[in-house]
Structure 1
Amino acid sequence: MEKTIELENNAELWQKTLIWQPNSLQNQQFEGLYQLILAANQQMNLTRITAPDEFWEKHLWDSLRGVVHWLSDPLSTSLRAIDIGTGAGLPGIAVAIALPNWQVTLLDSTRKKINFLQSAIAQLDLENVVTLTARAEEIGQQQPHREAYDLALLRAVGSPTVCAEYALPLLKIGGLAVLYRGVWSDAETETLNSATSCLGGVIASVESFTTPMSDSHRTCIQLRKVKHTPTEFPRSVGIPSQKPL
């Protein structure tokens, strides 16, 4: 029997927790994304989370919780966002569905995953999403991408300081990086603050919360770009993770 997400039944949870809920087209696209990921998961390791309720909470809801501040008026902004290390297209595709005026770039270094995402984008009829096969360290030094984005999304990518080095060079001044994390500590804030300042950014907010079904602990950290990132960042491929700031 085919697994399906009871999206209509989650309308109250969407509204209660995000003060937003998807329309019928968005529900269809979320369900379509789920089915596409399930099918592709047979050939490649996209996610271990495949149960319908878990997928809704830990992928769809979690993806949108990171951009909750824009959901109150989803058609009022038109931001250029990049999902760094997108993997199965999360959070990027979920964000693109919920915020159709945004232009979302899905970045991943694995061609096989990008091929899947290109197929998924076409099947979901998403005109506001493009893909890019590259490393963040590479495009952060390339003019079409350096300081070109309003928002960077990083979920399950690397340590917070590595995420900062990936994201901040890509952001315009005033832009935000959203780091999706689990349990967070003051010590992590201190370490991240030091690295962020080297990259032309500041920690704008640290928001902790629990997920609506399993009460799992999550934290969203926003980094704001306040000045140009020094030209030596990001460093060469692999260096940010090998020698974190």
Structure 2
Amino acid sequence: MTNSLPEMAEIWQQTLNWQPTVQQQSQFQRLYEFILEGNRQLNLTRITDPQEFCEKHLWDSLRGIAPQGKFISSFQDSASVIDIGTGAGFPGIPVTITAPNCTITLMDSTRKKITFIETILNSLALTNAKTLVARAEEIGQQPQHRQAYDIALIRAVGTASVCAEYALPLLKRGGLAIIYRGNWTQDETTALKNAANQLGGIIESIEKFTTPLSQSIRHCVYLRKVATTPIQFPRATGVPTQKPL
């Protein structure tokens, strides 16, 4: 079969101190096939080459939850996780496959994408994930979601300050927001510090790393929620992007 994902066992082991089981590898493969199929209708991703998919979607998704090359311990426990703006299911679905004890909510505002993701979850028998069609600004003000999650994942959604405004209201005190980025600048750190401060968060760390196959530079920003987010955040739909904190 031409579209087989590379095994990458050594790379997983060296970079994350982990490697997928046979079942997880087969779930990754089937996820890849679903994405290739779904791409015909939904335009989910430009990344379709098996090596690139492995690196930029699977490895990158899991690198975010493994700062300094070790999985965050709460992913072994029964953490409650939300993937904000999951799109085609990244980083949420690879995390769901890897962390069977966690409950993962895959959220997106596009109903078509969520319907597609539900097909994948059913086919891969991923019972630890649920889906939600919503906008972050709305659920951030809803009692069943506000301060309800241990970890928020957010990749390829707006500027870092906007990501912080989406994620921090959803986290319990002590929770962690993980913001996936490509490039990162000192100016972004300054802007994010200011935003996080208003939202009850602090920058715990910013990790710069290179991807294992193409040696591209990526960053992950870890925000810890240390205080309750003031009630006016998140602001109404569209406002965080138009007027970032």
| Shorter-chain TM band | over 0.9
What is the distance in 2 between the residues matched to 1:43 and 1:79?
Answer: 34
> Does the CA-based 8 Å contact 1:71-1:99 persist in structure 2?
no
> How far does residue 4 in structure 1 lie from its aligned partner after superposition?
1.6
After the TM superposition, which residues 127-138 of structure 1 pair with which residues of structure 2 at under 5 Å, given as runs?
127-138=127-138
> How far does residue 76 in structure 1 lie from its aligned partner after superposition?
3.4
What is the distance in 1 between the residues matched to 2:236 and 2:230?
Answer: 14
Task: Check 1:72–1:168 CA distance in 2 against 1; reply closer, same or farther (3 A cut).
Answer: closer
> How far does residue 73 in structure 1 lie from its aligned partner after superposition?
6.3
Unaligned segments of structure 1, at least 5 residues: none
Larger CA deviation: 186-195 vs 74-83: 74-83
> How far does residue 75 in structure 1 lie from its aligned partner after superposition?
7.0
**RMSD across aligned C-alpha pairs, in angstroms?**
1.3
- 2:28 aligned with 1:38: no
Q: Secondary structure at the match of 1:224?
A: strand
- 2:13 aligned with 1:18: no
* Residue identity matched to 2:101: N
> How far does residue 74 in structure 1 lie from its aligned partner after superposition?
8.1
What is the distance in 1 between the residues matched to 2:230 and 2:122?
Answer: 38
What is the distance in 2 between the residues matched to 1:76 and 1:60?
Answer: 18
> How far does residue 6 in structure 1 lie from its aligned partner after superposition?
2.3
What is the distance in 1 between the residues matched to 2:233 and 2:11?
Answer: 41
Task: Check 1:168–1:45 CA distance in 2 against 1; reply closer, same or farther (3 A cut).
Answer: same
What is the distance in 1 between the residues matched to 2:183 and 2:6?
Answer: 28
What is the distance in 1 between the residues matched to 2:102 and 2:74?
Answer: 9
> How far does residue 71 in structure 1 lie from its aligned partner after superposition?
2.8
| 1:53 corresponds to | 51
| 2:232 corresponds to | 232
What is the distance in 2 between the residues matched to 1:18 and 1:64?
Answer: 8
> How far does residue 190 in structure 1 lie from its aligned partner after superposition?
0.8
| 1:101 corresponds to | 101
> How far does residue 150 in structure 1 lie from its aligned partner after superposition?
0.2
* 1:30-89 C-alpha deviation (Å, 9 max, x unpaired): 001000010000001110000000000000000000011563768731110000000010
What is the distance in 2 between the residues matched to 1:85 and 1:72?
Answer: 21
| 2:181 corresponds to | 181
| 2:199 corresponds to | 199
> Does the CA-based 8 Å contact 2:76-2:102 persist in structure 1?
no
> Does the CA-based 8 Å contact 1:82-1:104 persist in structure 2?
yes
After the TM superposition, which residues 115-194 of structure 1 pair with which residues of structure 2 at under 5 Å, given as runs?
115-194=115-194
What is the distance in 2 between the residues matched to 1:241 and 1:172?
Answer: 23
> Does the CA-based 8 Å contact 2:96-2:102 persist in structure 1?
yes
* 1:184-206 C-alpha deviation (Å, 9 max, x unpaired): 11111111000000001000111
Unaligned segments of structure 2, at least 5 residues: none
* Residue identity matched to 1:63: S
What is the distance in 1 between the residues matched to 2:99 and 2:71?
Answer: 7
Q: Secondary structure at the match of 1:41?
A: helix
TM-score by length of 1: 0.96
> Does the CA-based 8 Å contact 2:65-2:72 persist in structure 1?
no
Number of corresponding residues: 243
Structure 1 segments (4+ residues) deviating >6 Å: 72-75
Percent identity (aligned): 58
Q: Secondary structure at the match of 2:147?
A: coil
What is the distance in 2 between the residues matched to 1:231 and 1:222?
Answer: 22
TM-score by length of 2: 0.96
Q: Secondary structure at the match of 1:198?
A: helix
> Does the CA-based 8 Å contact 2:45-2:88 persist in structure 1?
yes
